[in-house]
Structures are given as C-alpha cells and as structure tokens.
C-alpha cells in the first residue's frame, strides 16, 4: 500500500507514540480500535514499506466482497483476509490462522465492526479463540484517535483532521476468555487517554 503514507501522513496530521513497540516480523498480531475506513491505511503507514506485504488485515467478507470490483481491490491491493461473520459451517478464522502459520503480521479489530467516532465498542472473543493455537505470539495493542472524525461511518471522503496513535506493550494471553477481553478493552482505553489533549490545570 504505497498510497498509505501520502494519504495518512500528508492529508492528515499524525502523531505516533512508541512506534518502536510494533512487531518487526511475524507471526504477530496487531489489535486496534475501529472507527473509520482509514484505520487500515493508518496502520499500514506505521510499518516499513518492505514489511507491508506481510501485514494482513482481517476484514468483514460481507462488506468487502459484496461486489467484484471492491472484492478485487480489497484482496489484491489492500490484502485483506476475508472473515465471514456469523457463519457456522466453516471456521471464520481459518484465513487468520493460515496468515499466522505463514509468519505474517495479522491486523485485527476486536470490536468486530466500525463503532461511533472515538467510542470503544464491546470486545468480541474471536481473538481469544485464535490465540489458543498461537499462545506465545506477541499481541500489540494500538489506539487510533481522530480517524472517526476524519472518515467515520457513512463518510466516503476523508477530511483533514489531526490523528494521534498510541502503541502499547504486547499483551499476555489469558486462559480465561472474559478476562482476556476485559484486558484488551482496558488496555485500549488506557492508550486512548494517551492520545487525548492534556487538561489545563485548575487554579
């Protein structure tokens, strides 16, 4: 995605905290909040160009494969891994497992869908099931602030906006599913605080 940097870094003002915490190789998972179509481009822009072909975002098949032109762009240009939501006849995470077996860096949005700007939705448990097969790989949390206002749900053209990105330390895998989902949510909320402007001290 050679267009990721000019779109994100020039059209939007971007500040990144602790970029060095991102994985430099796979297999690994990057998890992020999800408010905008620009989220994937913003995450691509954080990695070296040579590594981008190994960065594979998981995305909803019912949205990105709904017509052949969008499907071609999503799979051949963006490089998504289609995830079939609500399907029980086959493993919806099979493509994600294969990407990790291949040594890729998997990008997941654990909320499952785009939420309201700057609001964090409930964390889905899919990542916990995925990590039962890969308990030792790094899971790096990222919070993206501002992209929901730059290009949120219902918007098709990005508007200039300042974006702050905070990257946390790798999370441990927990045996308890509910505790792991709570850990993800709490960590993302803590990172969100790092992206907010400081409140002036009261006299």
Q: What residues contact residue 80 under an 8 Å CB cut-off, 6+ apart?
A: 40, 56, 57, 58, 59, 64, 74
Low-confidence ranges of the chain (pLDDT < 50): 150, 152, 156-160, 199-203
The reported pLDDT for the residue numbered 31 is 96
Helices (H), the chain: 4-5, 38-44, 61-64, 68-72, 94-101, 126-131, 147-150, 177-195
pLDDT of residue 99: 92
- State residue 112's pLDDT score: 79
> What pLDDT, on a 0 to 100 scale, did the predictor assign at position 114?
67
Do residues 37 and 113 touch, judged by C-beta distance below 8 A?
no
- Return the pLDDT at 148: 67
Report pLDDT for 2: 52
Q: Check residue 156 and give its pLDDT.
A: 47
pTM score above 0.75 = yes
pLDDT value at position 157?
47
Give residue 102's pLDDT.
94
Phi, psi of 38 (to 5 degrees): -80, -10
pLDDT digits (tens, 9 = 90+) for 9-53: 666 677 889 999 999 998 999 999 988 777 888 888 899 888 888
Q: Mean of the per-residue pLDDT values for the chain?
A: 79
Q: What is the pLDDT of residue 53?
A: 86
Q: What is the pLDDT of residue 10?
A: 61
> Are 131 and 139 within 8 A, CB to CB?
yes
């Amino acid at each position: 995605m050679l267009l990721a940097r000019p779109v994100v870094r020039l059209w939007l003002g971007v500040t990144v905290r602790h970029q060095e915490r991102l994985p430099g190789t796979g297999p690994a998972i990057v998890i992020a909040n999800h408010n905008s179509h620009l989220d994937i481009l913003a995450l691509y822009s954080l990695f070296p160009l040579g590594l981008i072909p190994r960065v594979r975002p998981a995305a909803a098949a019912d949205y990105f494969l709904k017509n052949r032109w969008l499907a071609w762009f999503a799979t051949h240009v963006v490089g998504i891994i289609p995830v079939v939501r609500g399907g029980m006849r086959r493993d919806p995470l099979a493509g994600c497992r294969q990407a990790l077996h291949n040594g890729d860096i998997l990008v997941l949005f654990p909320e499952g869908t785009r939420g309201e700007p700057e609001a964090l939705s409930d964390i889905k448990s899919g990542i916990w099931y995925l990590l039962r097969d890969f308990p030792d790989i790094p899971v790096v949390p990222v919070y993206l602030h501002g992209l929901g206002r730059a290009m949120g749900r219902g918007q098709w053209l990005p508007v200039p906006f300042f974006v702050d990105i905070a990257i946390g330390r790798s999370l441990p895998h927990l045996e308890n599913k509910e505790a792991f989902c709570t850990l993800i949510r709490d960590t993302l909320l803590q990172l969100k605080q790092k992206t907010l402007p400081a409140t002036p001290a009261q006299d």
